[in-house]
Amino acid sequence: MPSYTQEGSSYERDMAYIPDRITKEPGRSQDKYDDGELDVRTWPAEPGRYRLVAARACPWANRSIIVRHLLGLEDVISLGLAGPVHDERSWTFDLDPGGRDPVLGYERLQEAYFARFPDYEKGITVPAVVDVASKSVVTNDFPQITHDLFFEWRDHHRPDAPDLWPDDCREEMEEVMQRVFTEVNNGVYRCGFAGSQEAYDEAYDRLWTALDWLEERLTDRRYLMGDRITEADIRLFTTLARFDAVYHGHFKCNRNKLTEMPALWGYARDLFQTPGFGDTIDFDQVKRHYYVVHEDINPTGIVPRGPERESWYSPHLREKLGPPR
């Protein structure tokens, strides 16, 4: 496996993804925060045309699985699931009979990337949206995928789909999501893949500063933006769901466990018990992915047995902070 760290360095995530968008109108977004014509290739939002390839093990892909379910897009965009363990080449479809995706016919997600870019040299990542007819990748830009599932596929949402990007708190939500991404979603990786003690110490301090801020924010509000679930909650949840199982030990984020932070732990359980969240989490796959794939960090490949799942179903008592909307 390739190394995730460089000696003495801090971890930096490569955010250069395939920038194509799937939009309702050619070349234009339905989100008023997108200014004018888009400067990337756009594909039409056509039901049945695309397959979302994700993995339950991956927090970035887990977002798209949750959003697809909450919006009721299951019959509009099909879902393919890669297994939790992969090599340096690609995620694989080893969970499917015969080890092939039943729609695309591929053994490896890499094949969809090569179908469009024969010389593709970057990492093969999930989530990825694949054009079924050509069996070629459209985009792997994970934050844009969930954004466009909301804004560009609205004509196909279920009638009671939640407003994941509410106008009345949009500016603040963007700020919250940016801090969550930089300091928490990516912060745990910055700890785990730090290439020196100095880099780790800095990453550790940044992570816990952000988690303490979230603990305080969620003490008197049910969700990040108040009394309704938004995209911001989905983005935070996928990291919290993996915290005690992986990040606390494997990534050395061990000041304390999530279960020892009353507001964050209650909030995480509240979301976990909400349809579309906890039922997308497979802790066995999550642990196998991190502890087996990250050979640099865990050379023995031993996968820990705990923690148990039952505590996620314990009462969270957060209803008093506001009803879900």
By annotation, the residues acting in catalysis are: 58, 189
In the chain, the largest separation of any two C-alpha atoms, in whole Å, equals 55
Q: CA-CA distances (angstroms) from residue 45 to 148, 157, 292?
A: 9, 12, 37
User: What is the token pair recorded at 317?
Assistant: 């008592």
| 3-state secondary structure (DSSP) of residue 230 | coil
Burial class (CB in 10 A: 0-12, 13-18, 19+), 81: buried
Q: Could you give the CA distance from residue 263 to residue 273 in angstroms, rounded to a whole number?
A: 15
Q: Are strands 42-44 and 21-23 parallel, antiparallel or unpaired?
A: parallel
What strand order describes the sheet that includes 136-139? 78-81, 50-54, 128-131, 136-139
Residue type at 91 in one-letter notation: W
Match 């340096």 to its residue by tokens: 88
User: What is the token pair recorded at 165?
Assistant: 């990007």
List alpha helices for 71-196, DSSP H. 110-116, 142-151, 170-179, 187-192
